Amino acid sequence: MLPLLLMVLLAGFSWWVAREALLAMHGGSSTPAPQKPDYFLRDFQTRSFNSMGQGGAELSGAGMEHIPGNQTVRIAQPRLRVVDGQGALTHASAQVGLSNADGSNVQLFGDAVVRRQAPKAQEIVVRSSFLNIFPQSRRISSNRPSTVQQGASVFAGDDLEMNGLDGTFSMQGKVRGSLRQNPG
C-alpha cells in the first residue's frame, strides 16, 4: 500500500504546482477551492520501481480525478498490485476508490476486494461493498457486511476490523464462520 501512497503524493504535488500557477496568474486570490475536479486522467496506469529497478507497485484505473475542495483523489475502477520486500503480493480492486491528500486513508466502494498472497502463508481475501484502508498502519475496517477468507476457512460479519501486521481480525453483529483445513 505504500506505493499507492507515493502515487497519491505525486498526484498531490501535481495539484499543488497547478494551484500555485493559478494563484500567481490571479494575483494570489483566496477564493474557496472548487468541488469540481481540477484535473483528471483517463485509462491510466502508473508503476513505481525500487532502487534496483524492480517493480514495486502498479495502479491502473478507468479514470482519476483530483477534487481540490476536499483534497481527495477519486479513481474509477481502481486496480492495485503491490509486491513488498518479502515477496508478498497484494491485489486490491473496487468500482470506486477515494483517497485523502496524503494517502493515509483509502476507501474502496462497490465490489471491494483485497487479496494478499505471501510466501509460506495462506492467501487472505477480504471482500465487502466498502473497505476503509489505512496503509501506514496496515489496517482495514468496514461498517458493512464483510467476508474474510484464509485458505479454506471463511468468516462473515456485519462489520470488520483487521490488523494486517499480525493478520488478526474481529467481526461484530451477525457473525458466521467455517474453519476448514486445506486439502493437502
Supply the pLDDT for residue 136.
Answer: 79
Contacts of 13 (CB under 8 A, 6+ apart): none
Domains of the chain (ranges plus CATH)? 2-178 (2.60.450.10)
Contacts of 126 (CB under 8 A, 6+ apart): 113, 114, 115, 140, 146, 147, 148, 160, 162
Q: What is the pLDDT of residues 1-58, one digit of tens each?
A: 445 544 555 555 555 555 555 555 455 555 555 678 777 889 988 887 777 777 777 8
Long-range CB contacts for residues 46-49, cutoff 8 Å, separation at least 24 = 46/7, 46/10, 48/3, 48/6, 48/7
Q: What is the pLDDT of residues 102-112, one digit of tens each?
A: 878 889 999 99
Residue 119, all three cell numbers:
510466501
Angle CA 64–70–74, to nearest 5: 15
Task: Tell me what percent of the chain is helix, strand and coil, each rounded to the nearest 5.
Answer: 15, 50, 35
Q: What is the pLDDT of residues 25-38, one digit of tens each?
A: 455 555 555 678 77
- Name the β-bridge partners of 88: none
Angle CA 82–84–90, to nearest 5: 40
Supply the pLDDT for residue 41.
Answer: 83
Supply the pLDDT for residue 1.
Answer: 47
pTM summary value: 0.75
